[in-house]
Amino acid sequence: MLWSTLGNVLTYLDFEVVNGQTYYYAISAVNGVGEGPLSVEVSETPASLPSAPLNLNAALDGDDVILNWERPLDDGGADLSYNLYRGEVSGDLVLLIALGNVTTYTDIDIGIGQTYFYQVTAENSVGEGPMSNEVSSNTDLPSAPVLSASSDGVAVTLTWTEPTDTGSSAITNYRVYRGPDSGSMSLLIEMGNVLTYEDDTGTVGQTYVYQVSAVNDQGEGPRSNLASAQLGSVPSEPIHIGAMTDGAGIVITWDEPEDDGGFSISGYKVYRGTSAASLNLKATVGVVLNYTDLDLVAGTEYYYAISAFNSKGEGTLSDVVMMQANSLPSAPIDLDADAGNGTVVLTWDAPSNTGGSPITGYKIYRGTSAATLTLLATVGLVTEYTDDTVTNGQTYYYKVSAVNAIGEGAMSELDEATPTADGGDDDDDDGESNTMLYIIIAIVAIAAIAAVAAFFFLRKK
């Protein structure tokens, strides 16, 4: 199939390949007439670095050291050659010889009584792979332990096996090596004949690489395999941040961090600001997953973020969440004062805006003038009130306000009423009704007088 169309060039690099997969290629030329025939087909298999050779071992044969190893589990998809490293100190080896595709070598260039350490790598067309296990030419020295490492956050625990070959004498002690990587190892501690060590001397969050060697009366054997672990760190950020109003407060909620850093969470810090860029520490709380902020200015927008902390320190901030504080309710609407005999009945409708917090009650104000209103009564969730502490003939002025968890809102518009013995005189509607009543009475009286006059007039005739 057609893979690519090129310009007038004579080379092409194919990057869309998988290591170890063989690919076949052919080229054709194109001119103004059309495409010519395909070239001869060629093939190539891209490769990756090989893995480490397996089971390197060393054996003395007179004054020679015979080394044998096995092929890597993964050759990277290309032909292999090998590099043999040697040194007089464990962990400090230099290239001795580059070999072909062989898995044995006899080292005859050795000093009498000198101990040598060896490692081997595999190499292909891509490059050189990692080192094999390390071995020693001195069979009187112990072989390498097998090391493992784990971390509980507080410390790294190292455990290892006793060497399969203790050499010509019993193991006397072990040496533990540590470094940030395999190329920067140094002696951490030399200890007795034990098979475990707890390292709590590292830097929080740092990953360390370890090796262990065994020592007997003849000296130090080769180092173990590499093992790595990370010391504990500060926690990651809390997740699922939420905010909601609750009466006069704002409630912030969150979930614990996905990573506690290897230590128990000690508590949380709540940051607040009036913008996402102006956050300051508001509160430090224990191992809880919510916080209620009551120190608010009504109607203000607040921004929040949370961090977790453990014994190693404070982690990063969470996402920022915003919530507006509740405010005072608006004024009740449609206040109506209806006068009666010794009473004034007040009715009103709830505010159009509760301020974000439910209305808890109302306050009723009264005065004998619009400028002298004082608190008359506080009532619950009702929209009607009967004032029976009035005097007939006196005009009263009223206003009503609503109350929520934040406080008392604005007053309603003013209304007035004048109770009277005959039912009272409230405002415009009642005045108009009384006027109509007087007109009707006058009409009836005039009609009665006219009827009487007509009766006497007819009798005289």
Instruction: Say whether pLDDT at 445 is over 90.
Output: no
Please compute Rg for the chain using Cα positions.
Answer: 48
pLDDT bucket at 312, cuts 50 / 70 / 90:
confident
| Amino acid 261: pLDDT | 85
Q: What are phi and psi of 459, to 5 degrees?
A: -65, -35
Express each pLDDT in 192-250 by its tens digit. 999 999 998 988 778 899 999 999 988 899 999 999 998 878 899 999 999 999 888 99
Distance of alpha carbon 270 from alpha carbon 125, whole angstroms: 56
Q: Which amino acid is at 190?
A: E
| Amino acid 440: pLDDT | 67
Strands 396-403 and 408-411: antiparallel
Percent of the residues in the chain that have a pLDDT greater than 90, as a whole number: 68
pLDDT bucket at 461, cuts 50 / 70 / 90:
low
Cβ neighbours of residue 23 closer than 8 Å, sequence gap 6 or more: 14, 17, 43, 44, 45, 46
For 333-426, CATH number out of 3.30.429.10, 2.60.40.10, 1.10.10.10, 2.40.50.100 equals 2.60.40.10
How far from the centroid of its chain's Cα atoms is residue 357's Cα?
Answer: 30
Domain boundaries, the chain: 54-136, 147-230, 239-324, 333-426, 428-461
Distance of alpha carbon 68 from alpha carbon 65, whole angstroms: 10
44 token code pair: 């190539």
| Residues 93 and 118: beta-carbon distance below 8 Å | yes
pLDDT bucket at 14, cuts 50 / 70 / 90:
confident
Q: What are phi and psi of 433, to 5 degrees?
A: -65, -45
How far from the centroid of its chain's Cα atoms is residue 66's Cα?
Answer: 57
The CATH architecture that domain 147-230 belongs to is Sandwich (2.60)
| Amino acid 402: pLDDT | 98
DSSP lists the bridge partners of residue 253 as 242, 290
Instruction: Say whether pLDDT at 118 is over 50.
Output: yes
Assign domain 54-136 to a CATH class: mainly beta
| Residue 62 DSSP symbol | T
Query: Strand, coil or helix: what is 83?
Result: strand
Instruction: Say whether pLDDT at 436 is over 60.
Output: no
| Amino acid 296: pLDDT | 94
End-to-end Cα distance, the chain? 135
251 token code pair: 């409630």
Instruction: Say whether pLDDT at 432 is over 50.
Output: no
Which H, E and C letters describe 267-287, residue by residue? EEEEEEECCCCCCEEEEEECC
Q: Tell which wins on pLDDT, 44 or 412.
A: 412
Express each pLDDT in 75-105 by its tens digit. 999 999 999 999 999 989 999 999 999 999 9
Distance of alpha carbon 165 from alpha carbon 148, whole angstroms: 19
User: How does DSSP assign 290-309, residue by residue?
Assistant: EEEE----TT-EEEEEEEEE
| Amino acid 18: pLDDT | 75
Instruction: Say whether pLDDT at 174 is over 50.
Output: yes
Instruction: Say whether pLDDT at 427 is over 60.
Output: no
| Amino acid 437: pLDDT | 53
Average the pLDDT over 366-382 and give the result: 97
Instruction: Say whether pLDDT at 433 is over 50.
Output: no
Instruction: Say whether pLDDT at 429 is over 60.
Output: no
137 token code pair: 């030419």
What Cα–Cα distance (Å) separates residue 256 from each residue in 140, 154, 265, 315?
Answer: 55, 20, 8, 12
Q: Tell me if domain 54-136 and domain 147-230 are identical in fold.
A: yes
142 token code pair: 């112990």
Q: What is the mean pLDDT of the chain?
A: 90
Cβ neighbours of residue 260 closer than 8 Å, sequence gap 6 or more: 153, 235, 308, 310
Q: Which of 192-196, 259-263, 420-424 has the highest mean pLDDT?
A: 192-196
pLDDT bucket at 287, cuts 50 / 70 / 90:
very high
402 token code pair: 């609503």
Residue in the structure block whose two tokens are 């060697």: 213
| Amino acid 232: pLDDT | 78
For residue 457, the surrounding DSSP H or E stretch is helix 428-460
| Amino acid 438: pLDDT | 54
Lowest mean pLDDT, pick from 67-76, 184-193, 257-266, 381-390:
257-266
User: How many other β-carbons are positioned within 10 Å of the β-carbon of residue 318?
Assistant: 23
Residue in the structure block whose two tokens are 């070999």: 99
Decide: residue 379, CB within 10 A, 0-12 exposed, 13-18 middle, 19+ buried: middle
Average the pLDDT over 260-281 and give the result: 94
Domain 239-324 is found in CATH 3.30.420.10: no
User: How does DSSP assign 390-413, residue by residue?
Assistant: --TT--EEEEEEEE-SS-EEEE--
| Amino acid 311: pLDDT | 85
| Residue 163 DSSP symbol | P
